[in-house]
Amino acid sequence: MLPELAAVSVARTAPAAADAFGVAVKPSGAVPRQIGLSRARLATLGFEGKPGQTLVVPGKEGSVVVAVGVAEAPAPNELRDAAAALVRAVPKAAHVATNLADAASGSAAEVATAYRAVVEGALLAGYRYAGLKGDPAARSVLTQLTLVGAGSPAGVAAGQATAAAAANAREVANMPASHLSARQFAELAVRVASERGLSVEVYDKDRLTQLGAGGVLAVNAGSVEPPRLVKLTYKPRAKSKAAHIALVGKGVMYDSGGLSLKPTNAMSAMMKLDMSGAAAVFGVLAALPALKCPNQVTGWLVLTDNMPSGSALKLGDVFTARNGKTVEVHNTDAEGRLILADGLSLAVEEQPDAVLDIATLTGAALAALGEGWAAVLGTDAGLLDRVRAASEATDEPVWELPLSRDKYRSQLDSQVADMKNIGGTYGGAITAAIFLSEFVGDTPWVHLDIAATMNSDADKGWKSRGATGFGTRLLLDLVTNYTK
């Protein structure tokens, strides 16, 4: 059910068996001899050596050399995109070799980061969701990636782990809701946990009722598919200095809007992706053993669909969340925050050092920032700084919006309950985050709204068409580098 990415190896020279050899070409200086063309000839063919630009040069016996433009001192994000461009330039190549990682220089750590970035870019560009197509051509062609150069075992291994994590998140998010219910996702999580050495607990509807998870139960009330809450726990071998970080992922397997029914349009067709937050947390937890993360991480996957029926949650209904707060529902299509309320409440009860949630939460975030940025809000400046640093390292852009309780909290006031689930017409991403902040207490908390970045309409950089897996690598970077 989960994708198999290309195998990765390191060699001093390009293997003769490689279908394509990607050669780094900087904007000035001598052209590498492997290209076989002068700089003037490259310019005639339209290749100027701009970062990420490619030119395929036919070689002997069907093999090709690909000129790949890189900066004089390429940054990891540029190498990641260059590797992605290389793989897409030769879509029929099963075995791709490249010296891109050796275009970078510096300390051992910087070289490792370069190798990691090239592996991530190539493997994520090579990912394809075959879905239910019978045509084998729809599947990924890339089966072998060879990195030509001195190599970095740590960088290669990290790149493989992080690319696999993002690909796993993409795979489950891309699956139609008819093929991945909350129960099926929970079963997959149990199997992967067993394979990776993670602890796992699955809370069914009866257990959620006992826990008082009123938000999950309210959203699930209109569905014939029962909800699940999956708790995945990773613990490092050395625990003396380990921090404990909790990750909570929104997992609405399909969002019809409930009785606040969505219109039939392209966005509604993408609502199978409304569980992309839970998919990202799943991808993160599955990768932690391979990365030997030094911190304890608990992942909470809050899973249900949101459907209309005679038993569905109604406007004006009031439910009680896990932490005892009562919520009046004014829009059943603002459901993600209702299930996250219970997930966050349970997460902070374990007293982690930090808690982060990730969710395809609001169209307001898309309206505010467009498709290139995720919104980030939080209660702790230090944790927000860590998120921004991880964002820059992984090229998963975030932009902070103000968590202005003094200006916006009154919009959530209710006449009959502790709060409503929506605010006014404007600032919806902010009022949604303020709603969530009611369920984290004093625990340092950050909220990632990835509604704008969950999907890509085309292959671009490290993103492939469809579910992007956005946030997976960002959170992996954060939890593996987090210190108390």
Instruction: Give the pLDDT confidence score for residue 154 in this predicted structure.
Output: 96
Q: What's the fold here for domain 7-151?
A: Leucine Aminopeptidase, subunit E; domain 1 (3.40.220)
Distance separating alpha carbons of residues 220 and 226, to the nearest angstrom? 7
Give the tens place of pLDDT for each residue, 255-282: 999 999 999 888 888 899 999 999 999 9
> Per-residue pLDDT for 150 more than 80?
yes
- Residue 409 structure tokens: 């909290």
Q: Tell me whether strands 445-449 and 374-378 are parallel, antiparallel or unpaired.
A: antiparallel
Among 461, 482, 474, smallest CA distance to 281 is for 474
Among 275, 292, 256, 306, smallest CA distance to 186 is for 275
> Per-residue pLDDT for 350 more than 70?
yes
Distance separating alpha carbons of residues 138 and 132, to the nearest angstrom? 10
Q: Which of 183, 262, 405, 460 is catalytic?
A: 262
Q: Which of 325, 337, 463, 473 is catalytic?
A: 337
What are the start and end residues of each CATH 3.40.630.10 domain in the chain? Answer: 168-481
Q: How confident is the model at residue 303 (pLDDT cuts 50, 70, 90)?
A: very high
CB neighbour list of residue 61: distance below 8 Å, 6 or more residues apart: none
Distance separating alpha carbons of residues 232 and 297, to the nearest angstrom? 8
Give the tens place of pLDDT for each residue, 91-126: 999 999 999 999 888 899 999 999 999 999 999 999
- Our separate counts of H helices and E strands in the chain read 15, 19
- Amino acid letter, 36: G
Tell me which of 113-122, 123-132, 288-297, 309-318 is least confident: 123-132
Active site residue 128: no
Which whole number is the average pLDDT over 117-141? 86
Among 413, 218, 432, smallest CA distance to 317 is for 218
Report the share of the chain in percent with pLDDT over 70.
99
Active site residue 92: no
Q: How confident is the model at residue 252 (pLDDT cuts 50, 70, 90)?
A: very high
Alpha-carbon 278 to chain mean position: 9
Q: Indicate if the alpha-carbon torsion angle 369, 372, 377, 380 is positive or negative.
A: negative
Instruction: Give the pLDDT confidence score for residue 366 in this predicted structure.
Output: 95
Residue that has been written with the tokens 């469809």 in this structure: 466
Report the share of the chain in percent with pLDDT over 90.
92
What are the start and end residues of each CATH 3.40.220.10 domain in the chain? Answer: 7-151
Q: Coil, strand, or helix at residue 472?
A: helix
Q: What's the fold here for domain 168-481?
A: Aminopeptidase (3.40.630)
Distance separating alpha carbons of residues 49 and 85, to the nearest angstrom? 13
Among 134, 136, 129, 162, smallest CA distance to 464 is for 129
> Per-residue pLDDT for 316 more than 90?
yes
- Amino acid letter, 372: G
Alpha helices in 152-204 (DSSP H): 153-174, 182-196
Q: Are 255 and 303 contacting, i.e. CB atoms less than 8 angstroms apart?
A: no
Q: How confident is the model at residue 135 (pLDDT cuts 50, 70, 90)?
A: confident
